Structure 1
Amino acid sequence: MAPPRTSRGKGPKQKHDSGRTLKRKRGEDEITTLAQKVEELDLKTALKNFSDLPLSDPTARGLTASHFKTLTDIQSRAISHALKGRDILGAAKTGSGKTLAFLVPVLENLYRRQWTEYDGLGALILAPTRELAIQIFEVLRKVGRYHAFSAGLVIGGKSLREEQERLGRMNILVCTPGRMLQHLDQTAMLETNNLQLLVMDEADRILDMGFQKTVDAIVDHLPKERQTMLFSATQTKKVGDLARLSLQDPEYVAVHETAAAATPSTLQQHYTITPLATKLDVLWSFIRSNLKSKTVVFLSSGKQVRFVYESFRHLQPGIPLMHLHGKQKQGGRLDITTKFSQSQHAVLFATDVAARGLDFPAVDWVIQVDCPEDSDTYIHRVGRTARYERVGRAVLFLDPSEEKGMLKRLEQKKVPIEKINIKAAKQQSIKNQLQNMCFKDPELKYLGQKAFISYVKSIYVQKDKEIFNLKELKLEDYAASLGLPGAPRIKFIKGDDTKERKNASWKMAHLTDSEAESGEEGAAKKDKKDEKEVRTRYDRMFERRNQDVLAGHYSKLINDDGTMIDSGAKTAAGEDADEDADFLSVKRVFAIGDENLGKADSSDSEASSDGEKDTKVVQLDGKNELIIDSKRREKLLKSKKKLLKFKGKGTRLVYDDEGNAHEVYEMEDEEGFKARGDADTQRERFLAEETERTRRADLEDKEVAREKRREKKEKRKARERALAAGEAEDDEEGGVPHGLPFVPFEIPGSDSGSEAEEKEEASRPSKKQRVTFAEPNSDSEEDPRQKRTKGKKTAAQPQIETLADLEELASGLLG
């Protein structure tokens, strides 16, 4: 009998299924136990170590491998609430470990929900800057290394397409607001319907006016039912902000709210009164005195950062210099932050991009060259040092106009700060060196101008005018301290009262003397006189000195309005110039006026003696005279257009081909035309005159042509006579005719057939140059005219008409 049929591998399959089932059951039991421990967790109990928290095994192993053992205050209180799924507003001092306070709950909550890549996006972490997002992502990688979650970093400066291909498989995203909104709008694979947690680091910065619209758009894409956690050193409590994020009964965790200071106790904070023009000198002196330190220097704008970095780099202080601002490319920013973190001694010039959240190890000094916009920004800036209970020092440079308002704001935020003085003996001035560099390097000068403008703009846009008052800053001195030849012109520098000051002169011009002197308007006018008047370029032009020290030929010129230049008249500028007579003595030249002006002067003296008005006669165009007897007539001299009616009609001249000038043909006056007779009669007379003129011109042209022909004929006859005389001399000598080539044989027909042709060719003038062949026995002192005649004769060569002639010529050549 056949054996019974059995299923192959039935035993091993059952064994494998039982192992997977046990593993799944063990995992479910672990999660159930973990959830029960979280529910039993006492929120009032202060925990000290991570091991006291109900954490999963992957998270505990990641914390141990990253050397995180003890809990900080914010971690002890915030993690307990977050593990229970509550919304949190976390506020703690800078450097207190807020990053782990939200990363550990993110990992634990997703782990308890058994989140996989098929479930989509589970947690979204927003950071205001790229550097902070990178830092959070690095901590997440260390702590969550043993978890099976997929995490991604979404920031600007990278390929959008590469990010789009991977976003659909991510469980946790660390991102900046702008880039995340771009993916939410454009990436189809990104699903946020199952989002469990939303985290905002530096939440007050994300929720302010800079990111308001972006954050609102991101929140619209997210589900309402989620857990939200906000963390910052200066936490917001605005009801509007909390309502925008749909927070449900949030737990406010502020561990340092009752502390005596808002900054770490290990941080030494000082400020010094430094005028705006000396800030760079003090900064340079500080860097030169602390070459073995690690320093972060904060400035208002990226253009200032770049100028200070480039100028100090040329000066070579003896310590590595770096700069960080928002206009740099992402790769460069990442390299700079990494390099500065690894450096032992360095100086980093930065904007507020580096003010929040960045953890640079072992920073010794934080220098704030420009005053921060508010006390919160100050707290975040100084938080780059004295982190995790280490020692740090901070110095704030304040202009005298900023001292009162800024100290008041810091006092309200419980920021202890002390005043220090700078030792004048150790201060070095780099003003001359900067001026020299800007003079030699136009690019550095351009950077300085942009830095100046950006600083003034940063002061102008500040809301707190009690601290930032643009009118009290000495901007000219500040421009000189940057090495610039002068302060660049800025449109908005006049302030908000531009329209009032623009209309003030118009109001004063329409006031009567009694109104101006009596009442408040008169007082305002006096105050206006006491102030420094605004001088236009025309005022400066008329205040130039030595305007009446002119060359002699200048006195013969006339003004644009036709009046003579009175070089002897003294102007106010000329009288003021006498004070420099001892420095440079110049002989003054006075031109003698014309007769009319002299007469006018004599009449003026007579009129002034009689008590009458002064009169003056001005010659306009050589014919017409203009009598100046009133102020209205004097104003006429300044207007060319009004003087035209007092001048005669101008005449226009044209020049013919020979350079003779004559008037342009114009329409004749009608009355004068009729006075000369009838139109038909004048036309007949004109035609007769033109006919006679044409006949005379024709006769003259014919006579000229006849004379030219006569001269030509005489020249030809003279040439023929000279040729005939030359031939007669040759016949008398009995020699060979000049010009023929010498041959040892006799050319047939050369005596008879070619003579007529030679004469004809000699009589006919030739334009082409003919080649002459000289005889071997010819005399060297031959007449050149005879040579020319011989050359003409050689042109007649023997003609070869038949084959017999060709044979004869060949036999003669062969001898």
Structure 2
Amino acid sequence: MHFSSIINSPFLILIYYFATHIQIHLAKHALQDDKSITQFDQLPLSKPTLDGLKKSHFVTMTDIQKQSIPLALMNKDILGAARTGSGKTLAFLIPILESLYHSKWTQNDGLGALIISPTRELALQIFEVLRKIGREHGFSAGLIIGGKDVHVESERLTKLNILICTPGRLLQHMDQTAGFDLNNIQCLVLDEADRILDMGFKKTLDAILDNIPPTRQTLLFSATQAKSVSDLARLSLTKPEYVSAHEEDVSSTPSNLDQHYVTVGLEHKLDTLWGFIKTHTKSKILVFISSSKQVRFVYETFRTLQPGIPLLHLHGKQKQTARIDITKKFSAARESCLFATDIVARGIDFPAVDWVIQLDCPEDAATYIHRVGRSARCGKAGKALLFLTPSEEPGMTASLEAKKVPIAKINIKESKKKSIKDQLQALCFQNPEIKYLGQKAFISYFRSIYIQKDKDIFKIDDLPSEKFAESLGLPGAPKIKILGGNKGKEAKNASRKLMQLSRANVDGEDPEDGKKDVVRTKYDRMFERKNQNVLSEHYMNMTGNGDGQKTTTGGEESEDEFMMVKRQDHALEEEKLPEVFDIATSKRAAKKALSKKASATGISTKLIFDDEGMPHSLYEFEDEEDFKKRGDAESQKQAFVEKEAEIMEQVDTLDKQVAKEKKTEKKLKRKEAMKAYDESSDENSGDDAGVELAPYDDANNQEFSDEDSDSESEKEAPKRKWFQTDDEEDRKKSKRSQVLEIEEPETLDDLEALSAQLLARR
């Protein structure tokens, strides 16, 4: 058999294919056991991937990369745990590129890899790293996060091979974008899985996992392995390989990170932070604060006070463009201070951060580990400082010790302390916006303490609210509704009137206003009297309740009863009280409730009197016998309809007549107006008739007032010459103003006479 025919044989091609894959598989197994491999070029990676790593200056592998990449290249599911800054991003990006490359994935094959990140900043960072190391590949990658145009993202989704996203936006596109298909997913990555679950995306993740084929490869990475992560791994991973790069380390944080904490009162936190920033103006500082409103207040006040270092702030309420811009600015800066919330506590790589300051206590030890992980990355040195109040110190230090976090206590030098309380008070007094931000910061801090789960650390009752408000520059502590606990919800859902009645006559409390021991006006004292039935003797005699009342005998009225007012007795009777008055209530409240009940039952009715003086109800029903006397119901109905139709026709005719008269009147008014306008236009005909021009001085280039010029004739009058007297000028003016009326000349004598007359006028 010819050699070419042997090569072209399908059987031998199949054998060659299996031999090649077996060789690669054995090489990967050898890599798993080989501890001497430390560089990327020692791995069986494709040339485009190696070129991208080399051009991005990635040469040596970290511990998590050594353990996870060989397993991922063998298409195994991985549950990886490594502390922050250990290189987890490359640990899952390289296997994704290799998987799609060896599968001959093209743009026509659709979406092949999906990477889910908890925050927008981390997703953007992963996308930037993918662009660097995947520059030699032909795959299309995309980023979909909140804050961007959904429609623009929808148009590009169907053309992507690798998608990096946040959970909420991904689920939105799965529901709204037509043609968005996840059935061909080859690899799924969950970065910072514990944070995704902590942010409340558990149901979102469940919905996403239900729409992804189970034959995929899943890579799950996190800095800390919590119980929720284990539950997620059990649901989404198939026989996973557990990888932990620092499981046997003594510390959960990098060894080149110096960690300290300081005990400071809540009212002295801002003073201490200000003093720290003033003494570290040549450093790159990252300050973590619990809420976005606190971040804004600290940033605005410190920026006004000017500590001598560039200030930035970052929180989740900012627009996406601003968040990206601030992240880039802080990454490129050498000396800067960034006030931020926990949105940058996970996975974000800020180069050369010198100090990580935690102004507010983290919610748990895992959050502390993620926060301090922004410093001492990739083998560089870093420092961390934690602010704890006296009530938080015992519980937080014990929690950190349990997580193997080496932290030492330090004291602040008295010479370094500087109070800025007076400056903050001045700012709040001068700028209402600063005062408003301070009030919101105060409330948000107490709310953040209240919602914490670990009550051994966060004790809201031990916080000095008044002193804390004073340290923010506020005149007093704002009211906080959350301090009432569940009582506030119960009070909100309960009937206010019933609560007022239930509190009546309890400890001297008035049922109308719910207050006690307050100053009463004379009107309050008047209505609080218990002898409300004390009336004048004359009125009591009229109503028949006085001592002078004359009784009737034998059913006959006495003479004085002719003018007596008959009134119904509304005396308070216990059997008439509603069930709500089983509790102790005041007489006034009971009477009020009883009168409402009486009015609801319809005791009072409105009467009208006929010509004979007989009373009748306002609305009376006709007797059935009288109704039948007038005929059957159908004929009466027909008669009523015909009568009403006649009335409506008459009214309609009258309305049409009135409308016609109004139209005619309007037409006459329009004609009169047009006639008056025509007459006025005839009278004022001419070039400049009816137009008044303001006088203008050419020499001075300014307008005169009305007092300087009375009429246009005065403006146009020629100036008097030096040899003319007033009499001559007036005479000429009068001559010019005269009009000469003559008859048409018929003879030569008439023409001569007219000429002489005209010459005389000159």
What TM-score do the two structures reach when normalised by structure 2? 0.64
Contact 1:38 1:84 in 2 (8 A): no
Q: Distance in 1 between matches of 2:260 and 2:19?
A: 53
What per-residue deviation string (whole Å, max 9, x for no partner) do you get for residues 51-79 of structure 1?
11110000000000000000100000010
Contact 1:120 1:168 in 2 (8 A): yes
The Cα of 1:500 is off from its aligned counterpart by 13
| 1:224-235 correspondence runs (5 A) | 224-235=214-225
Residue 34 of structure 2: aligned partner: 45
Residue 764 of structure 1: aligned partner: none
Residue 139 of structure 1: aligned partner: 129
Residue 662 of structure 1: aligned partner: none
1:353 counterpart (322, 331, 343) = 343
Letter matched to residue 307 of structure 1: F
Residue 78 of structure 2: aligned partner: 88
1:642 counterpart (515, 531, 545) = 531
The Cα of 1:481 is off from its aligned counterpart by 0.7
The Cα of 1:413 is off from its aligned counterpart by 0.4
Contact 1:266 1:386 in 2 (8 A): yes
Letter matched to residue 42 of structure 1: L
1:60 counterpart (36, 50, 62) = 50
Q: Distance in 1 between matches of 2:354 and 2:28?
A: 44
Q: Secondary structure at the match of 1:207?
A: helix
What per-residue deviation string (whole Å, max 9, x for no partner) do you get for residues 750-785 of structure 1?
xxxxxxxxxxxxxxxxxxxxxxxxxxxxxxxxxxxx
The Cα of 1:169 is off from its aligned counterpart by 1.2
Residue 192 of structure 1: aligned partner: 182
What per-residue deviation string (whole Å, max 9, x for no partner) do you get for residues 156-212 of structure 1?
111111111111111100100100111111112211111111101111111336111
Distance 1:322 1:537, change over 3 A: farther
Residue 696 of structure 2: aligned partner: none
Residue 378 of structure 2: aligned partner: 388
Of residues 210-219 and 381-390 in structure 1, the stretch that sits farther from structure 2 once superposed is 210-219
Q: Secondary structure at the match of 2:220?
A: strand
Contact 1:41 1:80 in 2 (8 A): no
The Cα of 1:246 is off from its aligned counterpart by 2.5
Letter matched to residue 30 of structure 2: L
Q: Distance in 2 between matches of 1:131 and 1:31?
A: 41
| 1:613-624 correspondence runs (5 A) | none
The Cα of 1:442 is off from its aligned counterpart by 1.0
The Cα of 1:242 is off from its aligned counterpart by 3.1
Residue 271 of structure 1: aligned partner: 261
The Cα of 1:255 is off from its aligned counterpart by 1.2
Structure 1 residue 375 corresponds to structure 2 residue 264:
no
Residue 406 of structure 1: aligned partner: 396
What TM-score do the two structures reach when normalised by structure 1? 0.60
Structure 1 residue 457 corresponds to structure 2 residue 346:
no
Of residues 156-165 and 33-42 in structure 1, the stretch that sits farther from structure 2 once superposed is 33-42
The Cα of 1:268 is off from its aligned counterpart by 0.2
Residue 496 of structure 2: aligned partner: none
Structure with more contact order per residue of length (Cα contacts < 8 Å, sep ≥ 6): 2
Q: Distance in 1 between matches of 2:269 and 2:361?
A: 11
Q: Secondary structure at the match of 2:198?
A: coil
Residue 317 of structure 1: aligned partner: 307
Q: Distance in 2 between matches of 1:87 and 1:354?
A: 28
Residue 413 of structure 2: aligned partner: 423
Residue 79 of structure 1: aligned partner: 69
Letter matched to residue 262 of structure 2: T
Contact 2:79 2:233 in 1 (8 A): no
Contact 2:113 2:161 in 1 (8 A): yes
Distance 1:64 1:435, change over 3 A: same
Q: Distance in 2 between matches of 1:123 and 1:673?
A: 101
Structure 1 residue 297 corresponds to structure 2 residue 287:
yes
Contact 1:203 1:236 in 2 (8 A): no
Structure 1 residue 166 corresponds to structure 2 residue 175:
no
The Cα of 1:440 is off from its aligned counterpart by 1.2
Distance 1:114 1:424, change over 3 A: same
Residue 202 of structure 1: aligned partner: 192
Structure 1 residue 447 corresponds to structure 2 residue 336:
no
Letter matched to residue 90 of structure 1: G
Residue 660 of structure 1: aligned partner: none
Residue 479 of structure 2: aligned partner: 489
Q: Distance in 2 between matches of 1:393 and 1:371?
A: 17
| 1:229-628 correspondence runs (5 A) | 229-238=219-228, 241-242=231-232, 245-495=235-485, 539=517, 541=519, 559-560=522-523
Distance 1:148 1:437, change over 3 A: same
What per-residue deviation string (whole Å, max 9, x for no partner) do you get for residues 522-541 of structure 1?
xxxxxxxxxxxxxx975465
Contact 2:193 2:229 in 1 (8 A): no
The Cα of 1:214 is off from its aligned counterpart by 1.1
| 1:10-49 correspondence runs (5 A) | 32=21, 35-36=24-25, 38-46=27-35, 47-49=37-39
Q: Distance in 1 between matches of 2:89 and 2:246?
A: 17
Distance 1:214 1:400, change over 3 A: same
Contact 1:184 1:221 in 2 (8 A): no
Letter matched to residue 390 of structure 1: K
> Structure 2: 5+ residue runs without aligned partners?
1-6, 8-12, 492-498, 508-513, 541-556, 564-762
Q: Secondary structure at the match of 1:124?
A: strand
| 1:82-121 correspondence runs (5 A) | 82-121=72-111
Structure 1 residue 177 corresponds to structure 2 residue 167:
yes
Q: Secondary structure at the match of 1:643?
A: coil
Q: Distance in 1 between matches of 2:467 and 2:384?
A: 26
Q: Distance in 2 between matches of 1:65 and 1:29?
A: 33
The Cα of 1:494 is off from its aligned counterpart by 3.8
Residue 751 of structure 2: aligned partner: none
Distance 1:647 1:400, change over 3 A: farther
Letter matched to residue 201 of structure 1: D
The Cα of 1:143 is off from its aligned counterpart by 0.2
Contact 2:220 2:233 in 1 (8 A): no
The Cα of 1:241 is off from its aligned counterpart by 2.3
Contact 1:75 1:97 in 2 (8 A): yes
What per-residue deviation string (whole Å, max 9, x for no partner) do you get for residues 459-502 of structure 1?
0011100000101111111111111111111122144688999x
Residue 697 of structure 2: aligned partner: none
Letter matched to residue 310 of structure 2: P
Distance 1:490 1:40, change over 3 A: closer
| 1:657-806 correspondence runs (5 A) | 671=559
Structure 1 residue 151 corresponds to structure 2 residue 126:
no
Q: Secondary structure at the match of 2:92?
A: helix
Q: Secondary structure at the match of 1:436?
A: helix
Aligned-residue sequence identity (percent) comes to 58
Q: Secondary structure at the match of 1:348?
A: strand
Distance 1:244 1:214, change over 3 A: farther
Distance 1:486 1:28, change over 3 A: farther
Q: Distance in 1 between matches of 2:422 and 2:278?
A: 17
Contact 2:25 2:74 in 1 (8 A): no
Contact 2:360 2:388 in 1 (8 A): yes
Residue 645 of structure 2: aligned partner: none
The Cα of 1:235 is off from its aligned counterpart by 2.4
Residue 795 of structure 1: aligned partner: none
The Cα of 1:31 is off from its aligned counterpart by 7.8
Residue 221 of structure 1: aligned partner: 211
Q: Secondary structure at the match of 1:642?
A: coil
Letter matched to residue 33 of structure 2: K
Distance 1:195 1:273, change over 3 A: same
Q: Distance in 1 between matches of 2:79 and 2:388?
A: 33
Q: Distance in 2 between matches of 1:59 and 1:299?
A: 40
Q: Distance in 2 between matches of 1:28 and 1:480?
A: 77
